[in-house]
């Protein structure tokens, strides 16, 4: 018990940003981190018509190998209807999980600390569009001190890509919103290239440098459209983001708009105490881009590596950076592969590993030590494949063990066969975060780095 509580202390005090913090490797630097064995993975799951109750749901999988329920779904909480469940994020104290819907713009706040094995609904935000002045499609739920930053994908005027960001208290009360800089209104930002499109997607902070970085995808009209129809519509294909914006984190004002053409999606910033850079990948041009502060203190963007053969449209989706900043996992949705890049020289990443994980691989989350790598499959309801070739492996949650050279399959759950739906974002939970014992947990493994 004492050891467990000491572990909790380590976890809760470990909120200092610079020194290597690991999905664990991809979250807010303000947040407590699970540095040992995670107990649960919470999977925000899209409802599928005809599969189970058809509703979006938060699915809890027990992933502690010492548990008798290892590798099993131990809880499923449906939220009523389908919202285009997509991303989720934890509050800075890690007591609540925010999960948002891109279609309905609803946000569901789950209490995961009262009983980490059985999340419950704490609050539902159903007036996001009205409160934010027209932002549609809440995407990234990112922890800042005592509050959540929510990026949007669209707006309620034309349902295109121009959008903004909102802030809420941890309890779910609206604080403020800000729109992305555009040619019409740069809000004081410097347009450094050809674009100031005002699109949004992901956000990450480097508090030590007072920098917030945002990326850009596409609006509701596109992400809710059938994929084949959109791909054959030249006008629709023009409506993708081509920018990354550098913000003053403290003032929440845009400082510089960088050209990153081809829909830059997930952002992952380095953890090193002197590492002033982040990575993103472009969905349409299949490249890794480095967003970095140069020797003169100017923030720049440059393409630093190709991901597969761009002419075959691999479609890079989620990425995950290792705690030591040396490796980057990159999933490509179209070919079902994961690639590992050596990013020890961030200006010259080199691919060192590639393996097929499964149809329409999308999200990747790794444990703090990098030894466990989790994958899910779903992208968007109207973009996902129907599984005409292999019905048994199109919507999955898979765990692989990584030994530095190869991925070894551990378990795989078929979310369609289980009547759950399409699994998307994964977040980790642990009893020790809340000073509570878990059945058969090796607390000695919950040590500090």
Partner 1 sequence: MVLAPGYEELEFEPPVAGSYLLPPMGAAADGSVLDTAGVQGRLHDYLGDKATVLSFIFTTCSDVNGCPLATYVMSGVQTAVLDDPALDGKVRLLSFSFDPEKDTPSALGQYGDQFRSADFDWQFLTTHSEQELRPILDAYDQWVIRDYDEAGQYLGTMSHVLRVYLIDQDRQIRNIYSTSFLHADTVVNDLRTLLAE
Binding site for partner 1 (CB under 8 A): 1-2, 5-6, 8-9, 11-13, 15-19, 29-30, 32, 92-93, 95, 145-147, 167, 169-171, 173, 175-176, 207-210, 248, 250-253, 273, 434-435
Write out the two tokens for 114.
């009262």
Nearer to partner 1, 176 or 344 (CB): 176
- Give the integer Cα–Cα distance in Å for 346 and 72: 38
Residues ≥6 apart with Cβ < 8 Å to 300: 258, 291, 292, 293, 294
Q: Return the CA Rg of the chain.
A: 20
Nearer to partner 1, 207 or 387 (CB): 207
Write out the two tokens for 398.
């898979």
Q: What is the DSSP letter of 397?
A: E
SS3 label, residue 82: coil
- Give the integer Cα–Cα distance in Å for 27 and 301: 22
**Closest to 38 measured CA to CA, from 59, 63, 73:** 63
Smallest gap, in angstroms, from Cβ of residue 37 to partner 1?
Answer: 19
Write out the two tokens for 154.
């669209």
Smallest gap, in angstroms, from Cβ of residue 207 to partner 1?
Answer: 5
Smallest gap, in angstroms, from Cβ of residue 42 to partner 1?
Answer: 19
Nearer to partner 1, 17 or 74 (CB): 17
Smallest gap, in angstroms, from Cβ of residue 20 to partner 1?
Answer: 9
Write out the two tokens for 214.
């945002």
Smallest gap, in angstroms, from Cβ of residue 434 to partner 1?
Answer: 7
Smallest gap, in angstroms, from Cβ of residue 323 to partner 1?
Answer: 14
Dihedral (Cα; 133, 135, 140, 146), 10-degree rounding: 0
Q: What is the DSSP letter of 25?
A: G
Nearer to partner 1, 26 or 394 (CB): 26
Nearer to partner 1, 248 or 410 (CB): 248
Nearer to partner 1, 133 or 387 (CB): 133
Nearer to partner 1, 157 or 274 (CB): 274
Phi, psi angles (nearest 5°) of residue 334: -75, -35
Residues ≥6 apart with Cβ < 8 Å to 397: 41, 43, 59, 61, 374, 375, 376, 377, 412, 413, 415, 423, 426
Smallest gap, in angstroms, from Cβ of residue 443 to partner 1?
Answer: 13
* Pairing relationship of beta strands 277-282 and 264-269 according to DSSP bridges: antiparallel
Smallest gap, in angstroms, from Cβ of residue 27 to partner 1?
Answer: 13
């Amino acid at each position: 018990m004492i050891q467990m509580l000491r572990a909790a202390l380590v976890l809760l005090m470990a909120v200092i940003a610079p020194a290597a913090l690991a999905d664990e490797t991809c979250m807010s630097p303000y947040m407590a981190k699970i540095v040992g064995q995670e107990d649960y993975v919470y999977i925000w799951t899209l409802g599928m018509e005809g599969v189970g109750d058809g509703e979006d749901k938060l699915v809890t999988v027990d992933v502690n190998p010492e548990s008798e329920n290892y590798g099993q779904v131990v809880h499923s909480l449906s939220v009523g209807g389908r919202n285009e469940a997509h991303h989720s994020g934890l509050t800075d104290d890690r007591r609540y999980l925010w999960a948002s819907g891109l279609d309905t713009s609803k946000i569901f706040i789950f209490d995961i600390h009262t009983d980490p094995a059985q999340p419950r609904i704490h609050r539902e935000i159903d007036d996001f569009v009205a409160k934010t002045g027209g932002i549609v499609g809440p995407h990234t739920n990112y922890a800042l001190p005592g509050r959540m930053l929510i990026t949007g994908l669209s707006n309620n005027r034309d349902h295109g890509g121009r959008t903004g960001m909102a802030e809420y208290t941890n309890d779910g009360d609206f604080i403020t919103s800000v729109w992305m800089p555009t040619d019409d209104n740069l809000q004081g930002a410097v347009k450094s290239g050809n674009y100031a499109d005002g699109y949004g997607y992901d956000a990450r902070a480097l508090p030590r440098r007072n920098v917030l970085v945002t990326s850009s995808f596409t609006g509701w009209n596109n992400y809710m459209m059938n994929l084949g129809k959109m791909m054959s519509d030249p006008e629709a294909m023009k409506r993708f983001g081509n920018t990354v914006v550098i913000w003053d984190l403290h003032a929440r004002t845009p400082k510089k708009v960088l050209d990153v053409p081809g829909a830059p999606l997930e952002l992952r910033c380095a953890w090193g105490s002197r590492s002033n850079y982040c990575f993103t990948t472009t969905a349409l041009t299949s490249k890794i881009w480095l967003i970095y502060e140069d020797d003169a203190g100017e923030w720049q963007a440059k393409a630093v590596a190709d991901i597969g053969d761009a002419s075959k449209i691999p479609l890079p989706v989620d990425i995950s950076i290792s705690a030591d900043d040396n490796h980057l996992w990159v999933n490509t949705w179209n070919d079902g592969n994961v690639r590992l890049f050596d990013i020890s020289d961030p200006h010259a990443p080199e691919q060192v590993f590639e393996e097929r994980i499964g149809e329409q691989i999308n999200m990747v989350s790794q444990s703090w030590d990098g030894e466990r790598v989790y994958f899910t499959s779903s992208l968007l309801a109207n973009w996902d494949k129907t599984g005409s070739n292999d019905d048994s492996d199109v919507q999955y949650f898979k765990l692989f063990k990584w030994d530095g050279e190869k991925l070894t399959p551990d378990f795989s759950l078929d979310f369609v066969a289980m009547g759950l739906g399409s699994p998307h974002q994964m977040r980790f939970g642990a009893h020790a975060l809340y000073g509570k014992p878990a059945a058969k947990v090796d607390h000695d493994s919950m040590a500090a780095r």
